[in-house]
Structure 1
Amino acid sequence: MTIATLFAAVVRAKPITGFIVEDDPDRPQLARSIGLLHLTMMGVGATIGTGIFVALTTAVPEAGPAVTLSFVIAGITAALTALCYAELASAVPVAGSSYSYAYATLGELPAFLIGACLLLEYGVSCSAIAVGWGQYLNELLAITTGWHIPDALARPPGNGGVVNLPAILLIGMCLILLLRGAKESATANTVLVFAKLAVLALFVGIAIAHFSAANFHPFAPKGMVGIGTAASSIFFSYIGIDAVSTAGEEVENPRRNLPLAIILSLLIVTAAYILVSIAAIGAQPWTAFAGQEAGLAVILHNLTGAAWPAVLLALGAMASIFSVTLVVLYGQTRILYAMSRDGLLPKLFQRVDGRRGVPRQNSYIVAAGVALLAAVFPLDVLVNLTSMGTLIAFAAVSIGVILLRRSRPDLPRGYRVPLFPILPIVSAGFCAYLIVGLPADTYALFAVWIAAACVIYFGYSIHRSALA
């Protein structure tokens, strides 16, 4: 292969018509069975979880009470990106999310690397989320029975344990739901989302009753550096936007429902994050958050002196993290499905169960990989890697909006980003700002991941691409 043909291969883009005409009557397809309510709840379900129930214990020590501003910064970045996602999702309503959008606008190699970022984002974030589930399970057991799972079996190596069995159990339960079908999974997620929103409302009500303005002084003890660092580390909690767009081929009326669900879910999530963070800091000095596992449940227990509020919150957190894990696992299987259908990954990942309409073998492989990560990796390493993958994928979507407007201005769109091209440019800039705030070891691990992706692409995918 000459340099000229190699360059032509890595920059070849998939025509928009190639996404629209994917139906093959001889092959089982993903079924369109998800409505607007379920889709919006998928966005909320994939997002509210770790950001509030787990990550406050690491974000508050980094920024102090000013972590509320960190959530605002991360929320603004997510909002800008959400508008870009809404346009691309309405224009290219297929599975694959940022990967598919990049394939249509940036070319094959960039799309493959974006796909690798998405797999990192979904696989690693799901593992980080599952780690947090075990913390709340132990808190619930300690309050109700006085017993807890031994650290060796409830924590990953590096965090005082050997293997995280609760995380493996959680992923196994989610796998069972995923194999039953997309509609069944979306319905279960909707129930879980309403439960966790009710529990968060309970927390805010009790915490506000014990609110102390003194806990907000000093407001920014770590300065702007701390605020930016915290914003970078908690940004992974906004991956729900991406999860909505992975359902592009299973949504009813996708050109209308995809952009609506993306925007609605972001509004709900951002409001919940800011309210809960303000209430939590008002109820407890910021210095008490460091190392406080199952933090919100502990705060309620300390405030009331009773067990029932903490029990309810621990149950709500477990339901919340369950729904996040479920939707994120779902999203990862659909990204692999899209990459496999394009020939960039083995055909195993695109096989669909004819009766249930789900990628069965794909789901087993994803669940096994995520369970392994959750069982043996510490939470802080996972969180920062997730943020890196998320931000790069988000930046690619912002750039993709500009490129697709230039190349296909005639393409039907259910939604258009306002203030074009200023808003997509600002969105990409915010993503770059948060990427800069990530620690050096995250860059090193991410470089290894991208290098491995390049080896797979040039060794396998470039030769088997459907566009070859």
Structure 2
Amino acid sequence: MAEYADNPAPVPVSAPPAPAAPPGADTAAGADAAYLERRTLRRGSAGWLLLTGLGVAYVVSGDFSGWNLGLAKGGFGGLAIATALMGAMYACLVFSLAELSAILPTAGGGYGFARRALGTWGGFLTGTAILIEYILAPAAIVIFIGDYVESLGLFGLTSSWPVYLVCFALFIGIHLWGVGEALRFSLVVTAIAVAALLIFAVGAFTEFSAAGLDDIPVDTAATGASSWLPFGVLGIWAAFPFGMWFFLGVEGVPLAAEEAQDPVRSMPKALSISMGILVLLAVVTFLAATGAQGANAVKDAGNPLVVALEGDGDPTALSRFVNYAGLAGLVASFFSLIYAGSRQLFALSRAGYLPRFLSLTSRRKAPYLGLLIPGALGFALAAGTGNGARMLNIAVFGATISYALMALSHIVLRRREPDLARPYRTPGGIATSSAAFVLALSALVATFLVDKDAAFIAVAVYAVALAYFAFYSRHRLVASAPEEEFAALAAAEAELTRD
């Protein structure tokens, strides 16, 4: 059985180094081949195109709604600056993750990167933050799907919980069917949503007026207030979480590494192309929606693109089309976020950070419990609270912590292991990941400006998870899990160098 040793035996000079590992790990499951055999994913299911579609799918619902609430925090100028800064943060983070995912192409994603760079505590802190994002975000989005279905008058529903149930049951079922089928479905729905955004922009730009961009009344008591910054300089900071909505989730692409074709090449390519598409959609959507009817008209709208097309008038053929396409965008993000959450849960469970039974896979190589249990939790949260905005704010809190830790992992590995084989290298190196790190910490603080209750709820969830790790799971880690072996190899190499 593979295990972590408190005092590894000396390694003969002529022998390869034995993997070192943190003390206290379990001795029962590590080297048992059957353990990992029951926890394998279907490799080679996704090429760069499906991975690119996955990256856009995570995010595309944010173009249809949510971002506009940042206008009520910072005005057009404040949200524009916040979006530019958050776009820069995501671009820097994506380039950093492209390098890390080429080094360690496993389902652990951010947890695996942080595990090697920051140790077991860093790995768990990062993985838990990612889980908070990817379990809470689907619960929030399914509430928005229910609201859309009701507002469109579909199926004559007057309550949304049946929609929540159908969405979780149907889309988890597709994931259980197989990852290739799931990602192809996601690509089709995402393509419909992206096409709808571009069609919306063409229609909205015919009504564009620059005078409407700064029509939000100015708060004269705010420091630095103007027509472009109606809530002052602080409004820029408060708008950070809403600028993130144009990009939130794209960092989840590396979670598909174990199911990708040639992940060393396809991951950097998919991440870069996804980010390029999202930047284009963010600029086009932001300008078209605010310029068509004015920032003040869309700042509080639940469906800002429809408001931008209709104003106070009657529905048009284009606004109806965009309304239905918004539902497609929500479905695409909901579907892909379920995938991301299940893979992060799978990786943490396989390595023993979370209960190991959660990483068991079916005959079709799907982590069925990693799909079903978060799905049941998400349905319960959605049906029990109905507060999608609060859950999304909690998800954003978790996301910002993970971004800071993943960027820090890139910095640490560049400094500590400069000779590590890097098939892809981040443009700008440490300067790029340092920018992502600073901006992520700024966004983390901004979450307290938007929703203190959501931030403190996330802190409480984090504290419970850390207590579980401190008192139980860190003593039962599985040394043969891919991310743990990768980190153990680094420790062994360091030990050999010291000798």
Q: Is the 8 A contact 2:39 2:350 kept in 1?
A: no
User: What is the aligned counterpart of 1:353 among 340, 356, 362?
Assistant: 362
Could you say what secondary structure the match of 1:357 adopts?
A: coil
The answer for the alignment partner of 1:442 in structure 2 is 454
What amino acid is the match of 2:202? G
Structure 1 residue ranges without an equivalent (≥5): 155-163
Aligned partners of 2:437 and 2:34: how far apart in 1? 33
Q: Describe how 1:157-196 pairs up with structure 2 within 5 A.
A: 164-196=161-193
The answer for the alignment partner of 1:371 in structure 2 is 379
Query: 1:318-361, CA deviations, whole angstroms, 9 ceiling, x for partnerless residues?
Result: 1111111111110111111111111122222111112x111112
Is 1:456 aligned to 2:464, yes or no?
no
The answer for the alignment partner of 1:213 in structure 2 is 210
User: What is the aligned counterpart of 1:68 among 61, 74, 80?
Assistant: 80
Q: Is the 8 A contact 2:360 2:368 kept in 1?
A: yes
Aligned partners of 2:58 and 2:466: how far apart in 1? 29
User: What is the aligned counterpart of 2:305 among 296, 301, 322?
Assistant: 296
Query: 1:363-390, CA deviations, whole angstroms, 9 ceiling, x for partnerless residues?
Result: 1111111122222241232222111111
What amino acid is the match of 1:438? T
Q: Describe how 1:303-322 pairs up with structure 2 within 5 A.
A: 305-322=314-331
Q: Is the 8 A contact 1:13 1:107 kept in 2?
A: no
Cα distance, 1:434 vs. partner?
1.3
Larger radius of gyration: 2
Query: 1:199-254, CA deviations, whole angstroms, 9 ceiling, x for partnerless residues?
Result: 00111011100111111222221122212211224425523322201101000000
Q: Is the 8 A contact 1:71 1:274 kept in 2?
A: no
The answer for the alignment partner of 1:100 in structure 2 is 112
**Pairs aligned (count):** 439
RMSD between aligned alpha carbons? Answer: 2.6
Of 313-322 and 181-190, more deviation after overlay is shown by 313-322
Q: 1:351 to 1:303 in 2, by over 3 A?
A: same
The answer for the alignment partner of 2:69 in structure 1 is 58
Q: Give % identity.
A: 26
Could you say what secondary structure the match of 1:398 adopts?
A: helix
> Which portions of structure 1, spanning 4 or more consecutive aligned residues, are displaced by more than 6 angstroms?
9-14, 21-25
Q: 1:342 to 1:236 in 2, by over 3 A?
A: farther
TM-score (norm 1): 0.87
Cα distance, 1:447 vs. partner?
2.0
Cα distance, 1:425 vs. partner?
1.3
Could you say what secondary structure the match of 1:438 adopts?
A: helix
User: What is the aligned counterpart of 1:274 among 283, 295, 302?
Assistant: 283
Aligned partners of 1:282 and 1:257: how far apart in 2? 37
Could you say what secondary structure the match of 2:152 adopts?
A: helix
Cα distance, 1:194 vs. partner?
1.0
Q: 1:234 to 1:71 in 2, by over 3 A?
A: closer
Q: Describe how 1:103-252 pairs up with structure 2 within 5 A.
A: 103-141=115-153, 149-150=157-158, 153-154=159-160, 164-217=161-214, 218-252=227-261
Could you say what secondary structure the match of 1:210 adopts?
A: coil
Cα distance, 1:429 vs. partner?
0.5
User: What is the aligned counterpart of 1:30 among 36, 41, 53?
Assistant: 41
Q: Describe how 1:376-387 pairs up with structure 2 within 5 A.
A: 376-387=385-396
Q: Is the 8 A contact 1:96 1:246 kept in 2?
A: yes
Q: 1:328 to 1:289 in 2, by over 3 A?
A: same
Q: 1:417 to 1:180 in 2, by over 3 A?
A: same
Aligned partners of 1:136 and 1:277: how far apart in 2? 21
Aligned partners of 2:400 and 2:141: how far apart in 1? 18
The answer for the alignment partner of 2:340 in structure 1 is 331
Q: 1:13 to 1:93 in 2, by over 3 A?
A: farther
Q: Is the 8 A contact 1:353 1:359 kept in 2?
A: yes
Q: Is the 8 A contact 2:66 2:302 kept in 1?
A: no
Structure 2 residue ranges without an equivalent (≥5): 1-5, 7-19, 215-226, 485-499
Aligned partners of 2:72 and 2:231: how far apart in 1? 9
User: What is the aligned counterpart of 1:78 among 71, 90, 94?
Assistant: 90
Aligned partners of 2:101 and 2:144: how far apart in 1? 31
Q: 1:172 to 1:346 in 2, by over 3 A?
A: same
Cα distance, 1:299 vs. partner?
2.8
TM-score (norm 2): 0.82
The answer for the alignment partner of 1:254 in structure 2 is 263
The answer for the alignment partner of 2:3 in structure 1 is none
Is 1:422 aligned to 2:431, yes or no?
yes
Of 294-303 and 103-112, more deviation after overlay is shown by 294-303
What amino acid is the match of 1:421? I
Aligned partners of 2:251 and 2:393: how far apart in 1? 17
Aligned partners of 1:115 and 1:135: how far apart in 2? 31
Could you say what secondary structure the match of 2:306 adopts?
A: helix
Cα distance, 1:466 vs. partner?
1.7
Q: Is the 8 A contact 1:139 1:148 kept in 2?
A: no
